Chain A
Amino acid sequence: MTSVQMHTAPRFGQVIREQLKAVSLSLRLPVLGAAALGTIVTALTLVDFARGKGGVEFAPDLSMIPAFAGILLPFAIWLSEKPFGARLMWTLPVGRTRHAFAKVLAGYIVLIIAVTVFVLWLLFLALITKGNITGDEMIRMLPSAIVPPRGTLDPSMIRTIRWVPPRALWLVPFTAATAAYLVGSAVALGIRYPFRWIIGIIAAGFLAAAVGHGMSGDAMDLAAGKIVGNFFFGRYGVDAVLTARAESFKTIVKVTTGEWVNVWRGLPDVSDWIIATILWTALGIAGLTAALMRHRERR
């Protein structure tokens, strides 16, 4: 055996650097897969452009890919070093909470780099296909946020306006990915069997909806629908974080002439997006803190 001196605990900066390398190495295959997919999409886009199809629009706020990456990445990171149970990493001379935090931070750095590359790639596609990079477009607006019943809307009531998305919304992929990553990390780190919980909650939701419908009919349906609707599409709901509500404001209506028309029932509000981002990020931080505390040393 080599005669090595006993060593003390590593500095926290060293732990973060090592976790960054470890996380990057463990994600090598998914990254290569994403790069291959990106190459194929780029090639197909260029082929379409060469055939005369329109350019690609630069609208990073509308892509949910960064948010999906943010929510799934924690599970990929903790796949090899499961946080629960008697794990080898907990016998290392690094505090458990610090070790877990270092891994979460390392994953976040990798995520932000990936989102930056993704946004730059979208910009690159827009530039080489001479697409719209300012995001401004002519859109049709409903007279109010309430969607009228099918076939009752007079087409003359629809206003056509020029919508120029605030530049601040270019940050949506980063903030959405951040909030999603925090929530995903809280779940991956804080719950021993997260997929059982997720499936269980979904199943319980369906069961509750079925029972509620059987007991109270439409009233229950309406109440449940309102709760779910607000959670996903409300002013500070999930969609507000993911796309600044750009997706939930879009809809399709049938006008009196029988035609189906794509319209917007409102416009993304930057202040609503900021508040939603703060709320969901705070929720993620609170959840992650609770998850990290679950792994603290017990005397």
Chain B
Amino acid sequence: MELQIQNLSKTYANGVHALDSVSLTIPRGMFGLLGPNGAGKSTLMRTIATLQQPDSGTIRFDDIDVLRDKHKVRETLGYLPQEFGVYPNVSAERLLEHFAVLKGIADRKARKEVVSALLHQTNLYDVRKKKLGGYSGGMRQRFGVAIALLSNPKLIIVDEPTAGLDPAERVRFLNLLSAIGEDAVVILSTHIVEDVSEICSRMAIINKGRILLEGEPLSTIESLRGRVWRRVIDKSELEGVEREHRVISTKLLAGRTLVHVCESSTPGAGWNEVEPDLEDVYFDTMTAAA
């Protein structure tokens, strides 16, 4: 089971190249698509989810041509968009049943079983009678996952799901996602590096419509081992450091600036080698592409 994307391109009417010859092979499991705002993540997600047509390229999900056989894909698709409209005065249980019918679960008994199981799985069973208008952000996202999981989909697309969630809700949500990635292709689109590092076995970094990096998070981190250095400097020194070294990220730390650079050998006195993490991979990739 895998999703193959070949040379996908999309240019909007305003001239923005949202996708530029994107090619990816996504196997079963959790796949993280990482990129900043405006990188093309949502365009790619919407295209795979059969919501918009690309200008060129192909997408195949096993033997299904995603761009031509949209109905067939939708029979096995679970999609959680950034925003999904809900009926605020309807209970979660009722609305989930509504979507279950629209996803083709016609048999009433089977539908009730599925709805009950999904509400348990998403930890919403105790609040199933509560109106959706009263749900918190995290609860709504979990409800969105329940909708996406109806009819046992094999291709699941989750677009920026943790944006706006508090830390506790984010952890609960990621735990839920990691459990569903075993028997499906799950694509998690996000700009939050930790989302990918915590639960994804494969990833890609995208920016300005182009895939900059594709691979396993651990392998990409390993490729930076011995090359990431850290130093705390004053803000006034930053310009000089940027001239002399390949700065990949800067952060504020107690009023001073924490700088990470990527160099094959020690940059000099005062620099400490650090264990690279996925954030370093991300910033190194973005810096190289700039």
A and B part of one assembly: yes
Residues of A within 8 A of B (CB): 1-11, 14-15, 17-18, 21-22, 25-26, 28-29, 80-82, 86-95, 99, 297-299
Knowing A2-B114, A6-B76, A86-B52, the reply to whether A18 touches B101 (Cβ < 8 A) is yes
Docked-complex contact A91 and B74, CB < 8 angstroms:
yes
Docked-complex contact B103 and A7, CB < 8 angstroms:
yes
Docked-complex contact A7 and B50, CB < 8 angstroms:
no
> By CB atoms of chain B within 10 A, which of A6, A18, A93 has the most?
A93
Counting chain B residues whose Cβ lies within 8 A of the other chain, the interface size class is 35 or more
Complex interface: chain A residues within 8 A of B87 (CB): 22, 25-26, 80
Query: Which chain B residue lies CB-closest to A82?
Result: B85
A192 to B180: give the CA distance in the assembly, Å: 36
6 sampled A-B residue pairs with Cβ under 8 A: A1-B117, A6-B152, A86-B52, A87-B81, A91-B74, A91-B79
Docked-complex contact B117 and A25, CB < 8 angstroms:
no
Docked-complex contact A10 and B74, CB < 8 angstroms:
no
- Quick one: which of B90-124 are within 8 Å of A by CB? 90, 94-95, 98-99, 101-106, 110, 113-114, 117-118, 121
- Quick one: which of B58-85 are within 8 Å of A by CB? 67-68, 70-71, 74-77, 79, 81, 84-85
Docked-complex contact A92 and B102, CB < 8 angstroms:
yes
Query: Which chain A residue lies CB-closest to B75?
Result: A93
Complex interface: chain A residues within 8 A of B76 (CB): 6
A261 to B209: give the CA distance in the assembly, Å: 73
A50 to B49: give the CA distance in the assembly, Å: 64
Q: Chain B, 45-61, contact with A by CB distance < 8 Å: what is the 0/1 string?
A: 01001111100000000
Docked-complex contact A29 and B89, CB < 8 angstroms:
yes
Point out the residue from A8, A10, A17, A91 that lies within 8 Å of B77, measured CB to CB: A91
Docked-complex contact A7 and B71, CB < 8 angstroms:
no
Query: Which chain B residue lies CB-closest to A25?
Result: B90
Complex interface: chain B residues within 8 A of A1 (CB): 117, 121, 149, 152, 180, 183
Complex interface: chain B residues within 8 A of A29 (CB): 89
Q: How far is the CB of B50 from chain A (nearest CB, A)?
A: 6
Residues of B within 8 A of A (CB): 42, 46, 49-53, 67-68, 70-71, 74-77, 79, 81, 84-90, 94-95, 98-99, 101-106, 110, 113-114, 117-118, 121, 147, 149, 151-152, 180, 183
Q: How far is the CB of A21 from chain B (nearest CB, A)?
A: 7
Point out the residue from B51, B102, B114 that lies within 8 Å of A18, measured CB to CB: B102
Docked-complex contact B89 and A18, CB < 8 angstroms:
no
Docked-complex contact A297 and B70, CB < 8 angstroms:
yes
Complex interface: chain A residues within 8 A of B104 (CB): 7-10, 93
A93 to B89: give the CA distance in the assembly, Å: 25
Complex interface: chain B residues within 8 A of A298 (CB): 53
Q: How far is the CB of A11 from chain B (nearest CB, A)?
A: 7
Query: Which chain B residue lies CB-closest to A79?
Result: B85
Complex interface: chain A residues within 8 A of B183 (CB): 1
Complex interface: chain A residues within 8 A of B147 (CB): 88
Knowing A1-B180, A93-B71, A298-B53, the reply to whether A87 touches B46 (Cβ < 8 A) is no
Docked-complex contact B106 and A10, CB < 8 angstroms:
yes
Point out the residue from B51, B151, B180 that lies within 8 Å of A86, measured CB to CB: B51
Docked-complex contact A2 and B113, CB < 8 angstroms:
yes
Complex interface: chain B residues within 8 A of A86 (CB): 42, 46, 49, 51-52, 81
Q: How far is the CB of A3 from chain B (nearest CB, A)?
A: 7
Complex interface: chain A residues within 8 A of B103 (CB): 7, 10, 92-93
Query: Which chain B residue lies CB-closest to A78?
Result: B85
Knowing A18-B101, A82-B85, A86-B81, the reply to whether A91 touches B114 (Cβ < 8 A) is no
Complex interface: chain B residues within 8 A of A7 (CB): 75, 103-106, 151
Complex interface: chain A residues within 8 A of B42 (CB): 86
Knowing A1-B183, A93-B103, the reply to whether A25 touches B94 (Cβ < 8 A) is yes
Q: How far is the CB of A101 from chain B (nearest CB, A)?
A: 14
Q: A6-B75, A17-B101, A99-B102 are in contact. List 11 more A-B contacts (CB 8 A).
A: A6-B76, A7-B103, A10-B102, A25-B87, A25-B94, A26-B89, A80-B87, A82-B85, A91-B77, A94-B102, A95-B71
Docked-complex contact B101 and A88, CB < 8 angstroms:
no
Q: How far is the CB of A199 from chain B (nearest CB, A)?
A: 24
Docked-complex contact B85 and A6, CB < 8 angstroms:
no
8 A-B pairs with least C-beta separation: A7-B104, A86-B51, A93-B74, A88-B84, A91-B79, A2-B117, A4-B152, A18-B101
Docked-complex contact B110 and A4, CB < 8 angstroms:
yes
> By CB atoms of chain A within 10 A, which of B99, B104, B117 has the most?
B104
Q: How far is the CB of B104 from chain A (nearest CB, A)?
A: 3
Point out the residue from B86, B106, B121 that lies within 8 Å of A14, measured CB to CB: B106
Complex interface: chain A residues within 8 A of B113 (CB): 2
A11 to B102: give the CA distance in the assembly, Å: 9
Query: Which chain B residue lies CB-closest to A81?
Result: B85
A8 to B105: give the CA distance in the assembly, Å: 8
Docked-complex contact A10 and B101, CB < 8 angstroms:
yes
Complex interface: chain A residues within 8 A of B70 (CB): 297
Query: Which chain B residue lies CB-closest to A23?
Result: B87
Q: How far is the CB of B197 from chain A (nearest CB, A)?
A: 24
A244 to B278: give the CA distance in the assembly, Å: 71
Query: Which chain B residue lies CB-closest to A18?
Result: B101
Complex interface: chain B residues within 8 A of A90 (CB): 50-51
Complex interface: chain B residues within 8 A of A80 (CB): 85-88
